Every structure is written in C-alpha cells, then in structure tokens.
Amino acid sequence: MNSPIVQSTHGVTLAGGGPFSVRDLKLALARAPLAVAADSGADRLLRHGVMPEAVIGDMDSISAAARERIPVARQYLVSEQVTTDFDKALRSIDTPLILALGFAGARLDHGLAAFSTLIARAERRCILIGPQDVAFAAPPRLEVSVSPGEPVSLFPMAQVTGRSEGLEWPIDGIAFAPDGMIGTSNRAVARRVVLEFDRRGMLVILPRRRLDAAIRALREAP
C-alpha cells in the first residue's frame, strides 16, 4: 500500500473545483484546519486567500497561475485517468476527518461522482458539505443527535438493508436499492437517531446545521 501524501491528526478540509464561499471555507477550517486541494480546488482556495498544504490530482484543470503560485513540493501529480480527483485525494489523505467543499456544485455528474466516491472510500471519514445539506457514507452503526421533525434522508448507492431508532418511518426489514426503495425525506421523531446497516452502500443526508452532530457521530462510530 502506498504511503499517504497528507497526514493530519486534526482533520483536513478538502477543496474541489466547484463553488463554495469564504463562509463555507471558514466553517470547514474551524473544524478541519489543514487545507488540501483536489486539482482545480487549488484555484478556489487561492481565490479565498488560503494556500493549500497540498494539491492532489491529474492536474488537468488547475490553472497555470495557481501552479506558479503554489510551491512545486506541494503539488502531487496522480496521472491515472480511471478515477476522479476526489477519489485520488481521499485515498491519499490519512486523517480522522475530512470535510469536503466544492464537490456538490453546479454539475450533476460531478455531484453523482462525488457520492459514488464517498461510498467507495467509506473507510475515510469524509463529510461532503453542500449549500443546504451534508452527506456522508454510513458506517455499520451510527448514532446522531438531531431535533424532532428534522429531515434524515437515506439514499442507497447499492443494495443494503438496516434498522433504525428515532425515525418517523423505520427502515427495519426494507431492502434498499438505487433503482428501488430509497429513504429520502424521512424525519426524526426523537433527539437521537440510531442507524445500523448490513453492508456499505448507504448515504446519510442531514441538514447543514447538523454538521457538528455528524462529525461527532462519525468519530464515535465503530
């Protein structure tokens, strides 16, 4: 196994090439203080006044101006074209928490690819921060603090079953699949929701205001 490019015990904010605001960046860096870019995410970071500690990707979309500003020693070319830059970065980062910005942006295909990567790299504790929601790959067991009435959406990226506590519509015994039963627009009926799944493949989507609750839940998950 190759050694990781980036290692941090405090968490990494990973920037993609999609849009995110200075407010988004400050929100993420307050919780995951090391800034890393996936390819053209470097341009976004520089535009917001942050020099990335590392840039990882195939370097096909980062600007020449950004490459000139960023020290060569911080630029890591991963030349294969089979995976996305998000995947290249996730598998190259060793940290307890990754907060990803700019991956759920304007293009639907990029967003779908990011969700697929969250599942494929589920061993990385990564939360994708969008304009209104946060999304992450469900671990085998998860306990998350919410408020009654808040949405708790589940979207299967594979065939998966599970059980739940604290949801208005329990998921026990349901066979989920991306082309079959999905679990979006469920709601909490308690202040704690417990989810268990038989295998990898489920995305959990929570309101953005529950970012800190999602971070705690992933850190405490087995």
Q: How high is the pLDDT of residue 80?
A: 85
Among 137, 147, 196, residue whose Cα is nearest residue 171: 196
Q: How high is the pLDDT of residue 101?
A: 98
Q: How high is the pLDDT of residue 79?
A: 87
Indicate whether 154 and 121 sit together in one domain. Answer: no
Indicate whether 115 and 197 sit together in one domain. Answer: no
The answer as to whether 136 is a domain residue is no
Indicate whether 191 and 169 sit together in one domain. Answer: yes
Indicate whether 145 and 127 sit together in one domain. Answer: no
Indicate whether 27 and 108 sit together in one domain. Answer: yes
User: How many CB atoms sit inside 10 A of residue 30's CB?
Assistant: 11
Indicate whether 85 and 155 sit together in one domain. Answer: no
Q: How high is the pLDDT of residue 106?
A: 65
pLDDT tens per residue, range 163-178: 999 999 999 999 999 9
pLDDT tens per residue, range 177-194: 999 999 999 999 999 999
pLDDT tens, residue order, the chain (222 aa):
478 999 999 999 999 999 999 999 999 999 999 999 999 999 999 999 999 999 999 999 999 999 999 999 999 999 888 899 999 999 999 999 999 999 986 678 888 999 999 999 999 999 999 999 999 999 999 999 999 999 999 999 999 999 999 999 999 999 999 999 999 999 999 999 999 999 999 999 999 999 999 999 999 998
Q: How high is the pLDDT of residue 151?
A: 98
The answer as to whether 1 is a domain residue is no
The C-alpha angle 129, 17, 128, rounded to 5 degrees, equals 15
Last residue of a domain, one of 77, 97, 131: 131
Indicate whether 175 and 94 sit together in one domain. Answer: no
Q: 87: domain CATH number? A: 3.40.50.10240
State both tokens at 214.
């999602």
Indicate whether 19 and 127 sit together in one domain. Answer: yes
Indicate whether 118 and 148 sit together in one domain. Answer: no
Domain span at residue 16 reads 6-131
